[in-house]
Amino acid sequence: MSGFALARRTAVRYPARTCLAVLGVAVIAALNFDMLLLSRGLLLSFADMLGGAGYDVRVMGGGGVPAIRFPIHDAAALADAIRRLPQVGDVARVRLDQVSAAGPRSGPEQAVTLIGASLDAAHPIWTITAGRSLPVDEQGAPPSVVLGRSLAAALGAEPGMLVRLRAGDRDGRSLLPAIACRVVGVADFSLESARALTAAVSLDTFQAVQGGGASDEADLVLVASAPEVGPDAATAAVARLRPGLHVYSNAALVEQFNRNGFAYFRQMSLVLSTTTATFTCLLVAVLLTVSVNQRLGQIAALRAIGISRQHVAAMLLWESALLVGVGGAVALPIGGVLARALDDILRRMPNLPERLHFFVFEPRAVVLHAALLAATAVVAAAYPIWLAVRLPIAPTLRREVVS
Amino acid sequence: MSIVQADHVTRTFRVPAGPVEAVRDVSMSVAPGDYVAITGPSGCGKSTLLQLVGCVDVATSGTITFEGRDVRALTEAERGRIRLRRIGLVFQRFFLLPMLTAWENIELPQAEAGVPKAERRLRTRALLDYVELSHRADHFPSQLSGGEMQRVAVARALANRPALLLADEPTGELDEATGEHVAALFDRVNRDGTAIVLVTHNPALAARARTHLAMKSGMLQPA
């Protein structure tokens, strides 16, 4: 009979002890699993958010992330040059500014982030939830606007209605006239928080809201690399076009955030997962040690009849592995539910992008969880095994008889 | 040739009050087919002598040879292998594994000794028949009476066909009638060729042995 079979029989033989141990391990391991999800959750979520619109290279005028952006001059020519590169699949120019917006009904103006985007790009940087995306504006007709969900609700606007956009925020003193725009769609903006007030228009309309003129600037140029070459080659090719620009692949941005912005989460999750792993280890070690101490006579008798030390050690190791393994498996759904609840709480923080999550599942987390638990099971079993294999057979049998 | 030969064996324990000689200058020999009973008052060193003869413990001085091999020169693993294959041990408290059935308890030392599965099945069935517990094969120790547990323990001790069966107070936890049943089983085991050394307070059990030795203050003498 193998060590595993003996361990399994022992677990079945003492159901109350087994259930308590499994439950204890499950609760602690669920926290541990959550820490693993948290350790890379923001990073994964951030990467997913950046790649969500289908662009994997970003061109900026200067600074890093999220420093103040410098405008890119001659943006149209730059976009054309980038589009002609064989490493590139798609290009979008983006402008950003704060404006104020008034809805079709009388009400206060809202301070809004206005996005101006070139319409020749294949991928819009928003996801339409009602109506349609921006068409090319017709001569004489009001220009089109896509409203974020929160802004549409705040203004009471739906597709087909007119809203007015005016340069400057609602407390600003801009003398520029408001531009009436027709709402063509309502959308989610992946980089904006759920409560952010956002609207998107064409670059021409953006320019008109700013008072017209012949500005050819962009705050950001988004590039989708050709699928066959990938973002690194595209990044290098774009950087060669105009050396003064700052060109980053999404992966480079994620790495930059990983080094700077997310270190706190990583450190916190490292501390907490080490703590929970220690608790798991102590729990199982205590249970197994108590169990071994209760079975000293039995173990001494086993050794006396010739059962090897290795066999006894294997039995105890498997007992530990079974308690930790079953507890660890039960921990996965508990950890999943807990992670979701914690994620909901954390995402209530103001100004977080809608698509940003703190706890993100990835298969790697399960593998790490399993590896950590396996190590915990081995460490937890070490002392009880040491006790059992070093047990002096003759004195123990004598003590058992006397007692 | 004897199975086990003890020459001037002494076993001393160090305790805070000073060294205690549990076994003093004992010499004895057990040959194939022998049936030896050792009696004596509690604490006189009977169980210690049994553990020395059974390679569970090692003498402080003197020599014990088991089938020609000096026990003190053997490693713990080598002594373990001798206990597994050549010696059967029966304890006062049975020490059956509570999570295994009677069948599995008897199979356990065979599996440890590497007996093939089919052979194990045959031997275990025969041993359960031998101790008249075939109908209890699937019962756990907690479902057996004291006498039944001790008979399973005897079957377990015989599982690897040992040359020597050692029993430490095998009827100590049993009532008179059940003890008689177990004693009859030992007689049968001995008749079938296995040498037995047992330690007991039970005069009726000791009287069944062909050799009866008495122990007093760690020293052995004819009863």
Nearest CA to CA, how far is A394 from chain B (Å)? 6
ipTM over 0.85: yes
Does pLDDT of A67 surpass 80? no
The residue-averaged pLDDT of A262-275 equals 82
Q: Do B95 and A297 touch (CB under 8 A)?
A: yes
What separation in angstroms does the CA of A334 have from each of A42, A328, A385, B189?
21, 10, 30, 57
Enumerate the residues of chain A whose CB falls inside 8 A of the CB of residue B48: 394, 398
pLDDT at position A311 is 92
pLDDT at position A191 is 74
Contact between A98 and A169 (Cβ < 8 Å): yes
Poorest-confidence range of A62-76, A94-108, B89-103, B143-157? A62-76
| Percent of chain A residues past pLDDT 90, beyond the cut | 31
Nearest CA to CA, how far is A393 from chain B (Å)? 7
Contact between A53 and A250 (Cβ < 8 Å): no
Alpha helices by DSSP H, chain B: 46-53, 76-85, 102-112, 117-130, 146-157, 176-191, 203-207
DSSP-assigned states of every residue in A11-47: HHHSHHHHHHHHHHHHHHHHHHHHHHHHHHHHHHHHH
- A92: tokens are 């979008």
User: From CA A149, how far away is CA A151, in angstroms rounded?
Assistant: 5
User: From CA A84, how far away is CA A238, in angstroms rounded?
Assistant: 10
Enumerate the residues of chain B whose CB falls inside 8 A of the CB of residue A307: 80, 84, 108-109, 112
- Number of Cβ atoms within 10 Å of the Cβ of A332: 18
Enumerate the residues of chain A whose CB falls inside 8 A of the CB of residue B166: none
CB-defined contacts A:B, below 8 A: 81
Does pLDDT of B14 surpass 70? yes
pLDDT at position A215 is 73
B100: Cβ contacts below 8 Å, ≥ 6 apart: A1, A6, A9, B108, B140, B141
Tell me whether A308 touches chain B (CB under 8 Å).
Answer: yes
Q: Do B51 and A397 touch (CB under 8 A)?
A: yes
Nearest CB neighbour to A311, from listed B54, B95, B112: B112
CA A253 to chain centre: 14
Chain A, residues 266-305, CB within 8 A of chain B, namely 297-298, 301-305
Q: Which residue of B has its CA nearest to A390?
A: B76
Q: Do A303 and B80 touch (CB under 8 A)?
A: yes
User: From CA A246, how far away is CA A237, in angstroms rounded?
Assistant: 12
User: From CA B215, how far away is CA B223, in angstroms rounded?
Assistant: 8
Does pLDDT of A275 surpass 70? yes
Poorest-confidence range of A65-79, A121-135, A223-237? A65-79
User: From CA B66, how far away is CA A384, in angstroms rounded?
Assistant: 32
pLDDT at position A68 is 55
Nearest CB neighbour to A394, from listed B56, B91, B156: B56
Handedness of CA B150, B155, B156, B161 (dihedral sign): positive
The torsion angles phi and psi of A20, rounded to 5 degrees, stand at -65, -45
pLDDT at position B163 is 94
DSSP-assigned states of every residue in B85-119: HTEEEE-TT----TTS-HHHHHHHHHHHTT--HHH
- For chain A, the first-to-last Cα distance in angstroms comes to 30
By CB atoms closer than 10 A (0-12, 13-18, 19+), residue A400 is: middle
Q: Most distant CA pair in chain B: distance in Å? A: 54
User: From CA A11, how far away is CA A284, in angstroms rounded?
Assistant: 13
Nearest CB neighbour to A306, from listed B48, B95, B112: B112
Nearest CA to CA, how far is A16 from chain B (Å)? 14
User: From CA A344, how far away is CA A366, in angstroms rounded?
Assistant: 21
pLDDT at position A146 is 92
Say which DSSP state B131 is in.
T
Q: Do A9 and B100 touch (CB under 8 A)?
A: yes
Nearest to A7 by CA among B143, B114, B141, B100: B100
Q: Do B98 and A13 touch (CB under 8 A)?
A: yes
Give the number of residues written for chain B: 223
Q: Do B48 and A398 touch (CB under 8 A)?
A: yes
Interface test with B, best of A296, A298, A299, A305 (most B CBs within 10 A): A305
pLDDT at position A66 is 46
User: From CA A121, how far away is CA A83, in angstroms rounded?
Assistant: 10
Q: Tokens 């050819």 belong to which residue?
A: A216
pLDDT in tens, A149-195: 888 888 888 888 888 888 876 565 667 788 889 999 998 887 777 77
Q: Which residue of A has its CA nearest to B165?
A: A305
The torsion angles phi and psi of A3, rounded to 5 degrees, stand at -60, -35
- A286: tokens are 């205590």
User: From CA A36, how far away is CA B203, in angstroms rounded?
Assistant: 68
Stretch (H or E) spanning B195: strand B195-199
Between B115 and B42, where is the model more confident?
Answer: B115
pLDDT at position A403 is 64
User: From CA A68, how far away is CA A70, in angstroms rounded?
Assistant: 7
For A12-21, the CB contacts below 8 A with 24+ separation are A12/B99, A13/B98, A13/B99, A14/A291, A17/A287, A17/A291, A18/A323, A20/A287, A21/A283, A21/A284, A21/A287, A21/A323, A21/A327
Tell me whether A68 touches chain B (CB under 8 Å).
Answer: no
Nearest CB neighbour to A308, from listed B80, B100, B169: B80
